[in-house]
Homo-oligomer: A and B are copies of this chain.
């Protein structure tokens, strides 16, 4: 998608040096666009660990490129394999809960192990990193194409008025390589000339909506308005939202959706006001082993300081300010689970299905026996 009029991915090989990876350092967004060079696998691990980049698909792609850099760094002797294995462990530990990361590193380990010479290993690792990146782009684009049909149907009933879409958190291209998951249908609609307007939940406490989704949409030229997380219900009561479209971190085989904390409240409001509530997701985030999101998905508790303090721009510098009494305790649950009964549909790379096991398995018949 575009930044300052120019198409970007979130990760790419430096045009000046094919042994250097470049990423958008997201810690400075939305106030500053910083491109970071990653010249070593250790730098990639640090970038993942310290959240210069985030989002499951992007972390996966970054780790794959990290393994390519490891092949370049490894000593050209009997210690090669040892170095690769150590790096794999370092990369996997950089975000231990990121499933895509573990998978991408394992894929690279496998191809490196079954290739003969160091030169060929380097080449194979680079090609597979490109391929992992491309799979993410293609998957997001597919989600976009399927979701676009929903937006087109709503637009057809609005005689030129914009389709108002509410989104929560950042399931945007900054979390992927391009397009995003929940945002992909929005970008495709916008690029096709369908008038859309996005209500962007700021998404406390980490404000991924206010910082990242707003930045993405602003830079790509998509009309949008930032709102606090409290506002969506009011907008829906007054006919100002045509659909809700969010991402997910993990979805059960029965269609329960774990996503950023607060998603459940928006789903309740959508249901109460007869507004469709859709979830955009790559099927890799479906956890085929679980059926009950509320009891089976553990919800991460993060630091209370993320609630008590917030960072923002003050006179061109980032400053962190205290919002609560210093001694008041705070709790910080990172995700919640939206029960399938509140979900109108899941938009996957294979198509749209209802949020129930039968409908999901029609799209993914190979999972029936799981």
Give chain A's interface residues, CB within 8 Å of chain B.
30-31, 199-200, 202-205, 207, 210-211, 214-215, 217-218, 224-235, 237-238, 260-262, 264-266, 268-269, 272, 294, 299, 307-314, 319-333, 335-337
A337 contacts across to B, CB distance below 8 A? 234, 237
Selected from B30, B229, B328, the residue in CB contact (under 8 A) with A218 is B328
Q: Knowing A307-B227, A312-B310, A331-B227 touch, does A299 contact B207 (C-beta < 8 A)?
A: no
A31 contacts across to B, CB distance below 8 A? 322, 325-326
Give the distance in Å from the alpha carbon of A217 to the alpha carbon of B336 in the complex.
27
Q: Knowing A232-B265, A233-B264, A268-B272 touch, does A314 contact B321 (C-beta < 8 A)?
A: yes
Q: Which B residue sits closest to A204, measured CB to CB?
A: B228
Instruction: Let me know if A262 and B230 touch, CB within 8 A.
Output: yes
Q: Knowing A204-B228, A230-B265, A268-B272 touch, does A321 contact B311 (C-beta < 8 A)?
A: yes
A-B contact pairs, 10 of them (CB 8 A): A202-B323, A204-B228, A229-B229, A229-B230, A230-B261, A234-B264, A234-B333, A238-B294, A265-B265, A321-B321
Shortest distance from the beta carbon of A32 to any chain B beta carbon, whole Å: 11
Q: Which B residue sits closest to A219, measured CB to CB?
A: B325
Q: Which of A225, A310, A331 gathers the greatest number of chain B CB atoms within 10 Å?
A: A331
Give the distance in Å from the alpha carbon of A233 to the alpha carbon of B229 in the complex.
13
Selected from B294, B312, B328, the residue in CB contact (under 8 A) with A309 is B312
Instruction: Let me know if A229 and B226 touch, CB within 8 A.
Output: no
Q: Knowing A234-B336, A314-B319, A319-B319 touch, does A225 contact B268 (C-beta < 8 A)?
A: no
Selected from B228, B265, B272, the residue in CB contact (under 8 A) with A307 is B228
Give the distance in Å from the alpha carbon of A286 to the alpha carbon of B239 in the complex.
26
Q: Which B residue sits closest to A207, measured CB to CB?
A: B323
A272 contacts across to B, CB distance below 8 A? 268
A226 contacts across to B, CB distance below 8 A? 307-308, 324, 328-331
Q: Which B residue sits closest to A318, measured CB to CB?
A: B321
Q: Knowing A307-B202, A330-B227 touch, does A237 contact B336 (C-beta < 8 A)?
A: yes
Instruction: Let me know if B321 and A218 touch, CB within 8 A.
Output: no
Shortest distance from the beta carbon of A332 to any chain B beta carbon, whole Å: 8
A30 contacts across to B, CB distance below 8 A? 324-325, 328
Q: Which B residue sits closest to A315, measured CB to CB?
A: B319
Instruction: Let me know if A324 and B210 touch, CB within 8 A.
Output: yes
Selected from B233, B264, B322, the residue in CB contact (under 8 A) with A262 is B233
Instruction: Let me know if B214 and A324 touch, CB within 8 A.
Output: yes
